[in-house]
Amino acid sequence: MTVSIITATYNSGATVRDTLTCVRDQGFANIEHLVIDGKSEDNTLAIVSEFPHVKRVISEPDSGIYDAMNKGIKLATGEIIGILNSDDYYPDNNVIGDVVEQFQRTGCDAVYADLVYIDPENNNKILRKWKSGRFDHSNFMFGWMPPHPTFFVRKEVYDRLGVFDTRLKSAADYELLVRFLYINKISASYLPRVTVHMRPGGVSNRSFRNWVRAHLEDYKAWSFNGVRPRWYTVVLKPMRKILQYL
């Protein structure tokens, strides 16, 4: 079994070394690491060139991170695909091995796990913890979703159900999870451990205005799939973040 890891980069020189190092140092041998770069103007590509484990690098203009991810999915040859952002990293060398073991043990279509947000200035300081819990189909209506950086899925699911919808700027990962897990009911297995350390700073977190836009995009994630969520669904989704601080 080969696992393809896709990392989208753009002027990521400050953080991408951690990302590349954690993939290189995984104990699981069959990893295909793809770096999809948006024509960086800093030292990102110079850093990537220091890591010969990277199987393929593409650097060209794109229309955003989800476009870059889609390029990586198209190029991936592994049975399992995971996406690791250029400012995130795996906390230890057993992550991929544990994920693969979960796939093999359960025969599921997807595996997801827990995530922690770390202080960008101090990687040892945890800001909040995202504990996913076991998957229940009905939980989506109550604002639940697994952390996308921990989400590994079989390539055939992408081939069958499609990739990220680039019409969405901040909620394309949420839409994909709704489409895969809620609409099409692929089988998913919860791996009860932290698999990703994430530095905060996503598009939807940068300002109140962007938060409102992200909130509206969450509605679109459902409407694009011909489903109307309950009135409280996308209200509860951001409220779940409060519990992550406890």
Domains of the chain plus CATH, in order, are 3-243 (3.90.550.10)
156 exposure class (CB count in 10 Å sphere: 0-12, 13-18, 19+): exposed
Cα-flanking dihedrals φ and ψ of residue 22, to 5°? -65, -35
For the entire predicted model, the pTM comes to 0.93
DSSP assignment of 132-183:
-----GGGGGGT----GGG-EEEHHHHHHH----TT-SS-HHHHHHIIIIII
Q: How many CB atoms lie within 10 A of CB 209?
A: 8
Q: How many CB atoms lie within 10 A of CB 241?
A: 13
Per-residue pLDDT of the chain (246 residues; tens, 9 = 90+): 899 999 999 999 999 999 999 999 999 999 999 999 999 999 999 999 999 999 999 999 999 999 999 999 999 999 999 999 999 999 999 999 999 999 999 999 999 999 999 999 999 999 999 999 998 888 899 989 999 999 999 999 999 999 999 999 889 999 999 999 999 999 999 999 999 999 986 544 455 677 678 778 999 999 999 998 888 888 888 777 776 655
